[in-house]
Amino acid sequence: GAVVSQHPSRVICKSGTSVKIECRSLDFQATTMFWYRQFPKQSLMLMATSNEGSKATYEQGVEKDKFLINHASLTLSTLTVTSAHPEDSSFYICSAPPTVTGLNYGYTFGSGTRLTVV
Amino acid sequence: GDSVTQMEGPVTLSEEAFLTINCTYTATGYPSLFWYVQYPGEGLQLLLKATKADDKGSNKGFEATYRKETTSFHLEKGSVQVSDSAVYFCALTRYVNQGGKLIFGQGTELSVKP
């Protein structure tokens, strides 16, 4: 149980275009989703927390207008990188907390999206 | 704010060597502590966890003990294998039962040679 499906796994886009990344909770309802960004050989940096039915909470220094987060339903959270530039190239990971499934399942992570902006 | 500090990598060991990856944290109260592993090209997997002081988490031969007095959660394994080569992340959360956010250390890359 407690599976988060993240798509796409890899995407290459041109500078100036927008890319949407989806995370779906397959067998539970995720009222909250965390979005992380990981640079090569570096740690995961929390970007924002999405909450179903309300505005996302962004971490300090994260551009809200560039990284649009939407939590439209209890099973879907999306991250849209708008007007992407090469410096946005990174590995993006979503994670659902153990609020519903209990601590035994821990935090559930999507498999990640490798974004390359050319 | 809360933070996690790990020993810098990469760590290179021979097969069957003893492994220690140091992790210390800064947080108020009593956070829950985790070790996650990321194999090449894959997402994060929970390796082990501890939710209170003196708890020992263990899995797949790895162990870590929650030391409140030294604010540490060092990862150990008695005999590493080539298949253990991966990046290891120490993490904490202060609100696990409320779905609080995870704070990660910088990660330590482990390379095990045959």
pLDDT in tens, A40-77: 777 889 999 998 888 999 999 999 999 999 998 989 99
Our separate counts of H helices and E strands in chain B read 0, 12
pLDDT in tens, B77-92: 999 999 999 999 999 9
pLDDT in tens, B58-111: 999 999 999 999 999 999 999 999 999 999 999 999 876 666 888 999 999 999
B21 vs A contacts (CB less than 8 Å): none
Quick one: tokens of A37?
Answer: 């960004």
Nearest CB neighbour to A97, from listed B34, B44, B100: B100
Quick one: tokens of B70?
Answer: 């030294």
A20/chain B closest Cα distance in angstroms: 19
* Beta strand B32-38 pairing with B86-93: antiparallel
- At CB < 8 Å, which residues of chain B contact A? 32, 34, 42-46, 49, 51, 87, 89, 96-107, 109
* DSSP string over B20-52: EE-EEEE-SS--EEEEEEE-TT--EEEEEEE-S
- B96 with A110: Cβ contact below 8 A: no
In A, minimum Cα distance to B105 occurs at: A43
Distance of alpha carbon A85 from alpha carbon A42, whole angstroms: 20
Of the residues A5, A109, A114, the best mutation for testing chain B's interface (the one with the most B CB atoms within 10 Å of its CB) is A109
A4/chain B closest Cα distance in angstroms: 11
Q: Is the CB of residue A71 less than 8 Å from the CB of residue A58?
A: no
pLDDT in tens, A9-26: 999 999 999 999 999 988
Q: What is the mean pLDDT of residues B4-27?
A: 95
